Structure 1
Amino acid sequence: PSVSTTAVAETPIPLLYRGNFTKLPQWDFDDVYNQDAPPRPTTCAPSLRNSQDENFKKAFLPNIRLFLHKDNINMSEWNRLSHFNNPFGFMEFKYDDVMASVKLIPKPKEPLLLPKPGGDGCVHCAVVGTAGILNGSKVGAEIDAHDYVFRMNGAVTKGFEEDVGNRTSVYVHTAHSITASPYFWGKYGYKSAPHDEGIKYVMIPEGMRDFQWLEGLLKGQQVSGGQYNKKWPRDYYSGQYNESRFYVLHQDFLRYVRNRFLKSPNLNNKFWAMVRPTNGAFTLFLALHTCDTVDAYGFMTDDYMKYSNYYVQKYIKTKVIFYSNHDYNLEKNTWKDLHNRKIIKLLGK
Structure 2
Amino acid sequence: MQKALGLVCLILTSCVLLYVVLWKNVSEQWTRSVFVGEIEHTDDRTLTYQTNITSALDVSSFGTTFIYKDENSHSIEREATITPIPVLYKKNFTKLPEWDFEDVYLQDHLARKPTCPKSLKNTEDLKFQEALLPNIQLWLYKGLLNLSEWNRLAHFNNPFGFMEYNYNEVKVAVDLIQKPQSSILLPVPGSAKDGCIRCAVVGSGGILNNSKMGKEIDSHDYVFRVNGALIQGFEEDVGNKTSVYVHTAFSLYSTILRFRKYGNHIIPQDEGIKYVMIPEGLRDFQWLQGLLQGKEAIGSFKGVRPLKFFNGHFNESRFYVLHPDFLRYIRNRFMPSKQMQGKAWAMYRPTNGAFALFLALHTCDIVDAYGYITEDHHKYSNYYFEKFEKTKVIFYINHDYGLEIKIWKKLHDSGIIRLYQRQENLNKTKT
Q: For the superposition of Structure 1 and Structure 2, which TM-score range results when normalised by the shorter chain?
A: over 0.9
Residues 214-225 of structure 1: matches in 2 within 5 Å? 214-223=288-297, 225=298
Aligned-partner residue type, residue 51 of structure 1 = T
SS in 1 for 2:320: strand
For 1:304, which of 357, 377, 397 is the aligned residue?
A: 377
Q: Is it true that 1:123 corresponds to 2:197 in the alignment?
A: yes
The Cα of 1:238 is off from its aligned counterpart by: 1.8
The 5 A counterparts of 1:177-188 are 177-188=251-262
Match of 2:206 among 132, 149, 156: 132
Residue type of the alignment partner of 2:331: R
Does residue 1:169 correspond to 2:243, yes or no? Answer: yes
Residue 295 (structure 1) aligned to one of 362, 368, 371: 368
Distance 1:310 1:300 in 2: 11
Contact 1:198-1:240 at 8 Å conserved across structures: no
CA distance in 1, matches of 2:285, 2:315: 18
| Post-superposition CA distance 1:168-221 (Å, at most 9, x none) | 100001110111011111011000111111110000001111001101111112
Aligned 8 A contact 2:145 2:171 in 1: no
Residue type of the alignment partner of 2:152: R
Contact (CA 8 Å) 1:203, 1:249: kept in 2 or not?
A: yes
Amino acid at match of 1:66: L
User: How many angstroms does 1:315 deviate by?
Assistant: 2.1
What amino acid is the match of 2:286?
Answer: Q
Cα distance in structure 2, aligned partners of 1:182 and 1:310: 14
1:208 pairs with one of 274, 282, 294:
282
Residue 7 of structure 1: CA displacement? 4.4
The alignment partner of 1:70 has SS state of coil
Paired residues, number: 346
CA distance in 2, matches of 1:71, 1:254: 19
- Kindly indicate whether residue 103 of structure 2 is the aligned counterpart of residue 31 of structure 1: yes
Across the aligned residues of Structure 1 and Structure 2, the Cα RMSD in angstroms comes to 1.3
Residues 175 and 6 (structure 1), Cα distance of their counterparts in 2 relative to 1, 3 Å cut: same
Q: CA deviation at 1:117?
A: 1.1
- Give the structure 2 partner of residue 332 of structure 1: 405
Asked whether the equivalents of residues 159 and 324 of structure 2 are also in contact (C-alpha less than 8 Å), the reply is yes
The answer to whether the 8 Å contact 2:412/2:419 transfers is yes
Name the aligned partner's letter for residue 376 of structure 2: D
Q: Deviations over 1:229-268 (max 9, x none)?
A: 1211111112221110000000000000000111000011
**Equivalent residues in 2 for 1:310-325 (5 A)?**
310-325=383-398
| Alpha-carbon separation, structure 1, partners of 2:242 and 2:363 | 16
Task: Quote the Cα distance in structure 2 between the aligned partners of 1:81 and 1:180.
Answer: 28
Q: Aligned residue for 2:8?
A: none
Give the CA deviation at 1:155. Answer: 0.6
In the alignment, structure 1 residue 105 sits paired with structure 2 residue 177 = yes
* In 1: Cα distance, 2:344 partner to 2:268 partner: 34
Matched letter for residue 212 of structure 2: K
- 1:19: Cα distance to partner? 0.6
> Could you report, residue by residue, the CA deviation over 1:141-182 in whole angstroms, capped at 9, with x for unpaired residues?
000010100001001011000000011100001110111011
CA deviation map 1:91-116 (0-9, x unaligned): 00000100110011111112210111
Q: CA deviation at 1:318?
A: 1.8
Is residue 308–residue 317 contact of structure 1 (8 Å, CA) maintained in 2?
Answer: yes
Specify which of 336, 343, 348 is matched with residue 270 of structure 1.
343
Identify the residue that residue 21 of structure 1 maps to in structure 2.
93
Query: How high is the sequence identity, in percent, across the aligned residues?
Result: 60
Matched, 1:347 2:420: yes
Give yes or no for the alignment of 1:40 onto 2:112: yes
- SS of residue paired to 1:71: coil
2:201 and 2:306 map into 1 onto residues whose CA distance is 25
Is 1:189 matched up with 2:263?
Answer: yes
| Shift in Å, 1:71 | 2.1
Greater displacement, 245-254 / 103-112 = 103-112
Q: Hey, what's the Cα distance between the residues in 2 that align with 1:243 and 1:108? A: 9
User: What is the SS of the residue equivalent to 1:172?
Assistant: strand
**Bigger radius of gyration among the two:** 2
Q: Which amino acid aligns with 2:322?
A: L
Farther off after superposition, 244-253 or 315-324:
315-324
For the residue of structure 2 that corresponds to 1:69, the secondary structure is coil
Amino acid at match of 1:27: W
Distance 1:12 1:317 in 2: 50
- Normalised by the size of structure 1, how large is the TM-score? 0.97
Give yes or no for contact 1:89–1:251 (8 Å, CA) kept in 2: yes
Q: Which of 297, 302, 305 is 1:232 aligned to?
A: 305
Residue of structure 1 in register with 2:59 after alignment? none
Tell me if the contact between 2:294 and 2:307 (Cα under 8 Å) persists in the aligned partners: yes
TM-score scaled by structure 2?
0.78
Number of the residue aligned with 1:64? 136
SS of equivalent to 1:230? coil
Distance, in Å, in 1 between the alignment partners of 2:281 and 2:316 is 21
* Aligned twin of 2:54: none
Partner of 2:147: 75
Q: Which has the higher contact order (CA 8 A, sep 6+)?
A: 1
Q: Partner residue of 1:158?
A: 232
| 1:242 is aligned to 2:315 | yes
